[in-house]
Amino acid sequence: MGALKSTPAPTEHYDLSEKTGFSLRQIRVLHKRFKQLSEGDDVLRREDFLGISSLKYNPIRKEIIEAFFNRRNFSPSCEGRANEIDFEEFLVVMSHFKPPCSKMTDEQRKSIRREKLKFIFNMHDSDGDGLITLEDYRHVVEELLSRSGALGKETSRAIADAAMFEVARTVGHRDPDEFYEGITFEHFLKVRSQSALCFKKEEKWLIRCLMCGKGSRHMFLK
Amino acid sequence: MFSRMAPRGRSGLGRSLAELGLLLLAILVLLDGTVLSLEAATSSEIDTHEGKPGTHKNTSKKSFPVLGIKYDDVSVPFEISLWVLLASLMKLGFHLIPRLSNVVPESCLLISVGLLVGGILKLARDEVPPVLSDRIFFLCLLPPIILDAGYFLPIRPFVENIGTILMFAVVGTLWNAFFVGGLIYAVCQIAQDKYSEIDLSNIGILPCLLFGSIISAVDPVAVLAVFEEIHINELLHILVFGESLLNDAVTVVLYHLFEEFMESGSVSAVDALLGLVSFLIVALGGVLVGAFYGILAAFTSRFTSHTRVIEPLFVFLYSYMAYLSAEVFHLSGIMSLIACGAVMRPYVEANISHKSHTTIKYFLKMWSSVSETLIFIFLGVATVEGEHHWNWVFLTSTVVLCLVARVIGVVGLTFIINKFRIVKLTTKDQFIIAYGGLRGAIAFSLGFILHSEHKRIFLTAIITVIFFTVFVQGMTIKPLVELLAVKKKHEAKRSINEEIHTRFLDHLLTGIEDICGHYGHHHWKNKLNRFNKKYVKKILIAGDRSKEPQLIAFYHKLEMKNAIQMVESGGGSKLNSTFPSTVSMQNIQPKIHSPPSARPSERALPQLTKGREEEIRQILRTNLQKTRQRLQSYNRHTLVVDPDEEGFDDLILKKRRMMELDWKVCKTSSHKSSNAIYSQAYVKPGAENVPTIKIDLASPQSPDSVRLLDEVVQDQGLTMSLPSSSSRAYKTSGKDDGRDQQKLLRCLSDPGPDVDDDEDYDDDEPVPT
C-alpha cells in the first residue's frame, strides 16, 4: 500500500466502516477509486461509469450501472432512482460483494444472502414494481445474448419464455383463476435456494480485491 | 438351464449367469490344458514326419482329416476374447444380484473373481499366464479409462478448484513418497526378523524411496470405480479424482528419477535440481502435447460434414496418438490424454453430428468399463501368479505408514489451502479425501517393471496395500459417507433458469471488477472467452455454429432432449413436471397487457355447467387466438439449426405447439385429476349444442390439439371452427396425427446428447457403472 499516503482516516470513514463492514483500508482504496471515476467530484453520475473502457464489452452494463443508481439498493425502504450517488451509497452497493466473514452466525449469513439475492432481483426488475414480469425477463435474456449479434429476437424470446415457464411451474398448485404476473422476491428466493448451484455461487460471489483490500497497485486502470 | 428363467426372478438369472461364467472358466482351463497336449501331439507327429522323410514315407500316411483342431492360429485372439467375455459376464452377474452389489463395491468383487480364476488356473496347470504385463496395461487397458475421464471432465469445477487439486497432487504425493520411503527405510534398519529369510537391512535408502514413490500415488481407476458408486458431492469428487489424474506427472518423474539414481549410485544436488526441472517439463510437456493433438482433432472435425461415419474415429485416434507421443518422450501420458480430451471437446462437439456424439460417448464408456473390469480381474490373477515374499514387519508397516502419511498430508495441506479458499474444506471433507486415497493397478504395474533385487518383496507389499485400500476402504466408504452425512450430489438437472443465472452472475461480477478497476479472476476469464470467441472458434468450428453463444446451444440441447422425451412417452404432450400445474403460458402475461375484453372469460373454470357455454366458447376462441400469435412468431424461426438434423425444425415447432396446447387444456382440467401427469379434455361428439367438457385421463389427444397440429402441418391458416364441430374433424385428423408421429419417430432414432454432460457425473441408464 505504498501508493497511498498515510494520512489519518477522516471520521466519516470510521462511520462507514461500521455501517458497511468494510475495513478502513478497503474504504480508503474504494474512496480513491471513487474519486478517480468521478473526476474529483463528490458525486458519481451515470456518464462517469460509461467512461470505463472494459465495461463496454459487458452485455449487461446498463443493468449494472442502473444498479448503482437504484435507491432500493441503498436501504430497503427507499424507492425510485437517483441521478447521482455519493460515496456512501457507492459503498453500500459495493458491500453486496463483500465476502462473508468466517465468524458469522447462521442468522447473519442468511440475511446477507437475502440481501445479495435482493440485489440481483432488483437488477432483473427493471421497471421497479417488485415483480419480475415476462417482459423484464425477456429483456434480460436479450441483453445477455446481445453480444452474439447473429440471432434475432425470437430465439431470446423463446429462451425467456421457456425459463419463465419453468419458474412458473415450480410455484405449485395455483388457482387457475389467477394470473401469474411475475416472480415475486419470495418466490425468487425459493427458486434460488432450490437450485443446486446457488450455494456455490453465492459464496463465490465476491470480488477478491475487496477481500483483502490490497491491490492498489493493480487498481485504477481505466 | 436356460429354459424356465422368467419365473425365477433376478437372482435366478444371476445364478444362471454365474453358472455360465463358471462354465466359461472351465472351458478356458480345459482349452489351455488340451492345447498343450494337442500341441505336443501334433508337433511330435510333424517332427517325426519331417525328420525322417526318406524312411517314413509310406509308414505314417494318415487319412484325410475331416475334422481337425488347429488352435494355434487363433489362440491369442481367442483367449483375449474369452477373458473379455468372462469379465463382462461377471459384471452382468453382479448387477443382477442386488444385495451383493449394494454392499460390496464392484472392484472388490472383480478382484475376488480374478483370484478365483487365478487359483483355478494354477491348480489346473500349475502355471498362470502373466496377463498383467506392463505393456498390455499401459498401452491397452489404461488409455480408454483416462480418455473417458478426460473427455467428460467437468471443466468448470475442475478449473475452479485447480489450485487445491494441484496442491494435493504435487505436494501431497511428494510428501507421501518421502514420508513412506524414509520411514520404511528406518523400519527396515531397525527390524531384525530372525524368522524371515529376507534381510531387510539390505534394502538401501534409494530403493526405499523408489518404493515410496510407487506406492504413494492415488490411482484414478480405483478412485473412479469406488467413488462412482457413492455419489458424493461434486466438489469432493473432483478434488480426489483430479488429484489422482494429476499426480501421474509426479509419479513418473519420481520413478524415473530414483531409478536413474539407483543406476548411477550417487546423488548430487545438481541431480535434485534437474529432477525439479524435469518435473516441470514432464507435466507441462504432457499438457502441451495433448493440447496440440486436441487442436488437430478439432480442426479435422471441421471438415467431416460429408463423412460423418468416421468422425468418432478421429477423436479416438488423435487421443491415442497424444498418449503414445507423450510416452515416447517420457512425458506424462495421462496428462496429455486429459488435456487432449478437454481441449478438443467443445469444438468437436460443435462440429459433429448428434449420432457421432452418441457413438463417441457410448464407445468410450464401453471401453473404459471393460478395461476397468479387466484390470481388476487381472490384478487378482497376478496376485496368485507371483511368488510372494512374506515379511509381516514390512507389510504391516507399509500399510500403516501409507495411511498415516495420507492423513497427515491431507490435514496439513488443507490447513494451508483453506487460507486461500472461499469454500473451506470441512473436517468431514478432509476425512473423505484422506479415506478416498485408493491405490490401484498403476502402482502394481510400476512395481512389476522394477529391475531391483528386492522386486518381489516390494510387489508383495504393493499388492497388500492395494488389497487393503480397495477392500477395506472401498467397502467401508459408503457406510461412512452415510454415517457422516456428507453432502450428496444434487440430482437436480440443470435448467434454463440456472444457465441464465450463471451467465448473468458471470457478467455481473466481471462488470463490478471493471468498476473497481481490478484485474481479477473474472476479468481474465472474460478475456479468455472473448479471445476464444473471436479467433479460436472461427478456425475450429465449421460454419455458422461458431457464432452460437453457449446459452443458445444449451437451450437447443434442452429442447431436443425434451422433444425426444415427449415422443418416447407415446406422442402425447406430456409435460416434464412432477406435479401438474395449472399454469398456462397465457397466465404469465401481466394483467395490463391482456386484451380487456377477454379478461373475465379467460379465467379457467374447473367445472362447467350449461350456463357457461358462452364463456367456454370465448375461452377457447381467445386461447386459439393467442396460441396462433405464438405459433406465428415461431414459424419465422431464426433458430440456428444444424442443417443435417432432419426434422429438428419440425420438432421444435411441434414441441412448442404441444406444450402450449397442453397448457391450455390443463387450464380447463379439473383439480381432482391431479394424479395424472396430464389430463386432457375433449369434447364429446354427439352432444347437442352444448359442449360438455369431460375429463378423460387416457385420451391421447384433444381434438383441438389434433386440429391445430393438422393445420400447422399442412401449413394453412388456423381455422376458427368452434368446438362443437370438432367431432367431425376428430376422425380425419387422427390419421395425420399418426403420420406425424411416425415422422418424428423416424427422425429420432437415437437418443440425443445429454444436456447435463458437462456438469454431471451421472451416467445414462444403459451405461454400466
Residue B140 has which C-alpha cell? Answer: 491397452
| Residue B731 pLDDT class (50, 70, 90 cuts) | very low
Cell 480397495, residue located: B470
The more confident residue out of B727 and B118 is B118
The residues that bridge with B682 in the sheet, in sequence order, are: B694
460-519 of B, contacting A, C-beta below 8 A:
490, 492, 495-498, 500-505, 507-519
Range among B399-408, B609-618, B723-732 rated most confident: B399-408
Contacts of A52 in chain B (CB under 8 A): 514-515, 517
d(CA B488, CA B491): 9
Judge whether B229 is closer than 8 Å to chain A, CB to CB: no
pLDDT at A66 (0 to 100): 76
Q: Chain A 127-166, CB below 8 Å of chain B: which residues?
A: 131, 133-135, 140-141, 144-145, 147-152, 154-155, 157-159, 161-166
> Alpha helix (H) ranges present in B191-265?
205-215, 220-230, 234-264
- Model confidence at B104, pLDDT cuts 50, 70, 90, reads confident
Over residues B579-600, mean pLDDT? 43
Distance from CA of B581 to the nearest CA of A (A): 6
Contact in structure between B620 and B602 (CB atoms under 8 Å): no
pLDDT digit string, tens, across residues B672-714? 343 333 333 333 344 444 444 444 444 444 444 444 444 443 4
Q: What is the pLDDT of residues B268-301, one digit of tens each?
A: 778 778 888 888 888 899 999 999 999 999 988 8
Helix (H) or strand (E) holding B270: helix B269-301
Question: What are the grid coordinates assigned to A90, written together?
Answer: 457507492
Q: What is the β-pairing status of strands A182-183 and B680-683?
A: unpaired
Least confident of A46-60, B580-594, B604-618: B580-594
Q: How confident is the model at residue B591 (pLDDT cuts 50, 70, 90)?
A: very low
**Would the pLDDT of B451 be above 60?**
yes
- Average of per-residue pLDDT across A40-65: 75
**pLDDT at position B292, please?**
94
Q: Dump the DSSP string for B384-398.
A: HHS-----HHHHHHH
Contacts (Cβ under 8 Å, ≥6 apart) of B110: B87, B90, B91, B373, B376, B377, B380
CA distance B565 to B444: 45
Chain-wide mean pLDDT for chain B? 70
- What pLDDT does residue B518 have? 63
- Percentage of residues in chain B having pLDDT higher than 90: 10
Q: Which of residues A85 and B164 earns the better pLDDT score?
A: B164
Contacts of A11 (CB under 8 A, 6+ apart): none
Minimum mean pLDDT range among A76-90, B657-671, B726-740: B726-740
SS3 content of chain A, % helix, strand, coil (to 5): 60, 5, 35
Q: pLDDT tens digits for B627-661?
A: 444 433 333 333 433 444 444 455 556 666 666 66
Contact B585 A161 (CB under 8 A): yes
The predicted structure's pLDDT at residue B250: 86
Q: Considering CB atoms only, which of B492, B511, B555 is closest to A55?
A: B511
Is the pLDDT at B748 greater than 70, yes or no?
Answer: no
Between A61-69 and B496-516, two packed helices, what is the crossing angle to 10 degrees? 70
Which residue on chain B is closest to A100 by alpha carbon? B422
Q: Is the pLDDT of residue A221 over 60?
A: no
Q: At CB < 8 A and 24+ separation, what contacts does B470-474 make? A: B470/B105, B470/B107, B470/B108, B470/B111, B470/B222, B470/B226, B470/B438, B470/B439, B470/B440, B471/B108, B471/B111, B473/B226, B473/B435, B473/B436, B473/B438, B474/B105, B474/B107, B474/B108, B474/B222, B474/B225, B474/B226, B474/B438
Q: Which of A107-121, A182-196, B16-30 has the lowest mean pLDDT?
A: B16-30
Contacts of B322 (CB under 8 A, 6+ apart): B289, B290, B292, B293, B294, B336, B337, B339, B340
Which alpha helices (H) appear in B453-495, and where do they start and end?
455-467, 474-484
| Contacts across the A-B interface (CB distance below 8 Å) | 212
Per-range mean pLDDT, top range of A5-9, B11-15, B478-482: B478-482
Say yes or no: B674 contacts chain A, CB-CB below 8 A: yes
Please tell me which residue, A148 or B576, carries the higher pLDDT value: A148
B215, B462 contact by CB (below 8 A) = yes
Q: Name the class of domain B134-484.
A: mainly alpha
Characterize B524-540 residue by residue with b for buried, 16 or more Cβ atoms within 10 angstroms of its Cβ, and e for exposed. eebeeeeeebeebbeeb
pLDDT value at residue B608: 43
Pick from A60, A102, A177: CB nearest B603:
A177
Percent of chain A with pLDDT over 70: 61
Q: What is the C-alpha separation between A157 and B656, in angstroms, rounded?
A: 13
Taking 50 as the threshold, does the pLDDT of residue B616 lie above it? yes
Nearest CB to A219 within list B518, B551, B552: B518
Interface test with A, best of B426, B501, B529, B593 (most A CBs within 10 A): B501
Domain boundaries, chain B: 134-484, 504-554
Q: For A130-168, what is each residue's pLDDT tens digit?
A: 777 777 777 777 777 766 554 566 777 777 777 777 777
Please identify among residues 17-56 of chain A the ones whose CB lies closer than 8 Å to any CB of chain B: 30, 33, 36-37, 49, 52, 54-55
* Least confidently predicted of A52-66, B53-67, B223-237, B311-325: B53-67
| Chain A residues near residue B510 by CB distance under 8 angstroms | 58
**How many Å apart are CA B187 and CA B208, to the nearest integer?**
10
Confidence band of B617 (pLDDT split at 50, 70, 90):
low
Inter-chain residue contact A168 with B581, CB threshold 8 Å? yes
End-to-end CA distance of chain A: 19
Residue type, B310: I
Q: A171-199 burial by CB neighbour count: b if 16+ within 10 A, else e? A: beeeebeebbbbbebebbbbbbeebbbbe
Q: Looking at B58-67, B420-429, B546-555, which range is the least confident one?
A: B546-555
pLDDT tens track for B131-170: 667 788 889 889 999 999 888 888 888 888 888 899 889 9
- Which grid coordinates belong to B186? 528406518
Residue B33 grid cell: 490344458
Q: Could you tell me the pLDDT band of residue B422, with boundaries at 50, 70 and 90?
A: confident
